[in-house]
Amino acid sequence: MRLRFGRSQGAGRALLVGLMALLAAVAACGNGSSGQSQNVKLVWWHNASEDPGKTFWAQVAKDFHTAHPNITVEVVPIQNEQFTTKIPVALQSSSPPDVFQQWGGGQLGDQVQAGRVEDITSDVKPWIGQIGSAASNWQVNGKQYGVPYSLGLVGFWYNKDLFAKASISTPPATWDELLADVGKLKAAGIAPIALGGKDRWPDAFYWDYLAVRLCSKQTLQQAAVDYKFTDSCWTQAGVKVKQLLDASPFQNGFLATPAQQGAGSSAGLMGNGKAAMELQGHWNPGVMNGLTPDQKGLGDKLGWFPFPSVSGGSGVDGAMLGGGDGYSCSYKAPKAACVEFLKYITSVDVQKKWAALNVGLPVTKGAEGGVADPNLRNLIDIRGKASFVQLYLDIAFSTSVGQALDDAIANQFAGSATPDQVVKTIADAAKNR
């Protein structure tokens, strides 16, 4: 706005005094800790559509508003499988959510290239150090485009009582032992492994982990750069998948079973004692507990073991497959308010409270003590000692390649693709990305 001063000295002085008063009033309105000069609203999309996460995040939004009265947070919980299809559409629209669930990797790279997320590098610099190396998966070309609140591992969750019923005294440490235990469980009339094949990404965990065991670290990391899949280890991963499929380890109807929706999901089958084990992420206890009548799941009957070793591979000893959950600010977000919200979510106090839900592994230094579940506490130690943690491949690769990977592996699980065809499908998608 332009101000035009007249020649009268008195009038000019009066106008100047009034202008200074106006600026002082505006400045007073902007003295909140968020750095905002007016009331703003953040629309927040996350994937905790069930308790305990749903109630927890709703309370976080309320507490944040109490501490920052000029920022209102509208919470929109969206079921995970719906979320992954809705967010790409929303980010291309003129009214995306301000804060949204973000898994980093190649998908984030696509969003950055399209100009759909905010560069918050300088904004988070004063406090991002409290998160440590976990923040790196939310970086693109050295710049920060999101902040994690959880970083965990994939492994086998298992029912100790069902293992004992099948005379399995210790979890399998090798691939051959896993196949042998599948046979023991089937002989005892127990579904060995629960699988939510309807959602495709649980299938990919098997191929991904076998690639981690069979491929060198350099091959895995370089593939996310040059998208070349010529190393035989990629095909060998599919060969091992076929070996597992030939053993028929999954429950009846696994191709139509969802991963996390309802008591009949793979998580529900595990939580209700209908299957002996499930290859899933660190979040699985919280999901399966919510799908049992008493909301407590298996309790101390639940155990965890890492994906078995595979002979003849070039993978790094102790390497793990994993990833995390975080949030980004969209290109339409009020940046100062959004960053302040991310800072609050990753504060030690909020991270401790979230850790106490026993649904994941916190990233902020000093929050580890909030985890009470012995399995998750063990995972924090394993995470700290892991020689290498490979990000889920469908997330590490660009969106189109990751989708092709999930589809190709799901086709192999359905019996309509060979190991060679899986690799070819992924490689073809990479050429056309």
More confident residue, 161 or 15: 161
**DSSP one-letter code for 308:** P
Please tell me the distance from the alpha carbon of residue 198 to that of residue 416, in angstroms, as a whole number: 15
pLDDT digits over 215-225, tens only? 999 999 999 99
Which run of H or of E encompasses 323?
Answer: strand 319-329
Of 101, 106, 104, the C-alpha closest to 85 is 101
Single-letter amino acid code for the residue at 246 = D
Q: What is the pLDDT of residue 37?
A: 57
Q: Average pLDDT for residues 278-296, to the nearest whole number?
A: 91
> Encoding tokens for residue 156?
């086998």
Please tell me the distance from the alpha carbon of residue 18 to that of residue 97, in angstroms, as a whole number: 39
Of 312, 327, 307, 310, the C-alpha closest to 386 is 307
- Whether the pLDDT of residue 155 is over 90: the answer is yes
Omega of the bond prior to 419 within 30 degrees of 0, cis? no
Share of the chain above pLDDT 90, in %: 81
pLDDT digits over 13-55, tens only? 333 334 334 333 333 333 334 445 589 999 999 999 988 899 9
> Helix (H, G, I), strand (E, B), or coil: what is residue 54?
helix
CB contact set of 365 (below 8 Å; sequence gap of 6+): 130, 131, 132, 348
Please tell me the distance from the alpha carbon of residue 306 to that of residue 226, in angstroms, as a whole number: 29
> Where does the pLDDT of residue 297 fall: very low under 50, low under 70, confident under 90, or very high at 90 and above?
confident
Task: Sort 212 into a burial class: Cβ within 10 Å, 0-12 / 13-18 / 19+.
Answer: buried
Please tell me the distance from the alpha carbon of residue 211 to that of residue 426, in angstroms, as a whole number: 14
What domains are there in the chain, each with its CATH number?
Answer: 40-152+323-384 (3.40.190.10), 155-321+392-431 (3.40.190.10)
More confident residue, 45 or 133: 45
Whole-prediction pTM:
0.84
Q: What is the pLDDT of residue 12?
A: 39
- Whether the pLDDT of residue 11 is over 80: the answer is no
Q: What is the pLDDT of residue 160?
A: 98
Please tell me the distance from the alpha carbon of residue 428 to that of residue 425, in angstroms, as a whole number: 5
